[in-house]
Chain A
Amino acid sequence: AQTVTQSQPEMSVQEAETVTLSCTYDTSESDYYLFWYKQPPSRQMILVIRQEAYKQQNATENRFSVNFQKAAKSFSLKISDSQLGDAAMYFCAYRSYDISSGSARQLTFGSGTQLTVLP
């Protein structure tokens, strides 16, 4: 079974600075998707960024970018110019599919990293 590990339960960053959240995963599959979700204090999960394993180029969404290292099975999230509104729990997630049937497997989440942004 696939597992997703987030080894940093808590992180903090100064406003306007850059922070990187780590995520590693374990899989024997070659094609899959990786996601970072944000859960603010309201607790409603929001997709931050998504990466397909076959794409070499790292995904970016405004101030959010990833460093995807497929061989190392690493998928870190970089937040640039951190803002107070970035304070949240961040979850890394993995999803693949059954090659024979094409059916998607379930989304597997890491345990999360609580990010604090200091003014």
Chain B
Amino acid sequence: DGGITQSPKYLFRKEGQNVTLSCEQNLNHDAMYWYRQDPGQGLRLIYYSQIVNDFQKGDIAEGYSVSREKKESFPLTVTSAQKNPTAFYLCASSERDLSYNEQFFGPGTRLTVL
């Protein structure tokens, strides 16, 4: 089955630690995205990548970093510089980064800072 996988489903982090959230897709999509979801709010864009070895910041990139070394993978690192990292993180992909294209989402990772 084609789709997007995110791991782990739940992640706990101590303050001051960096953690990396995994996102893999086998849809052969060029574009990939990371969103953050907080209660009572819509999704907010952290980073996106239109093609391998290229990525751009979204609205809330501070305290996060990404890489796109392979087409199918777009890992997100939450660094200690992110002041309020507890949230639900969603990864998405689309065939190309065009405004009419559907974005397909993964099942998400719930990150909790202890």
Query: What is the interface of chain A, defined by CB distance below 8 A to chain B?
Result: 4, 9, 32-33, 35, 42-47, 50, 52, 91, 93, 95-97, 103-112
Contact = CB atoms under 8 A, between A and B. Distances in A.
A91 B101 CA distance: 16
Contacts of B97: 103-104
A23 to B, nearest CB: 11
B100 to A, nearest CB: 5
Given A33-B99, A45-B105, A97-B99, A106 B58 contact: yes
A43 B107 contact: yes
Contacts, number: 59
Given A4-B42, A44-B105, 4 more contacts: A50-B102, A107-B33, A110-B42, A111-B40
A44 B107 contact: yes
Interface in B57-114: 58-59, 88, 90, 92, 97-108
9 contacts: A33-B100, A43-B107, A44-B108, A47-B104, A91-B42, A104-B101, A105-B99, A106-B48, A112-B40
A107 B45 contact: yes
A19 B88 CA distance: 28
Cβ-closest 5 pairs across A and B = A109-B42, A45-B105, A104-B99, A97-B99, A95-B99
A106 B103 CA distance: 11
Nearest to B92: A45
Contacts of A112: 40, 42
Nearest to B40: A111
A62 B106 CA distance: 24
Nearest to B101: A104
Contacts of A35: 102
A32 B43 contact: no
B103 A107 contact: yes
B53 interface: no
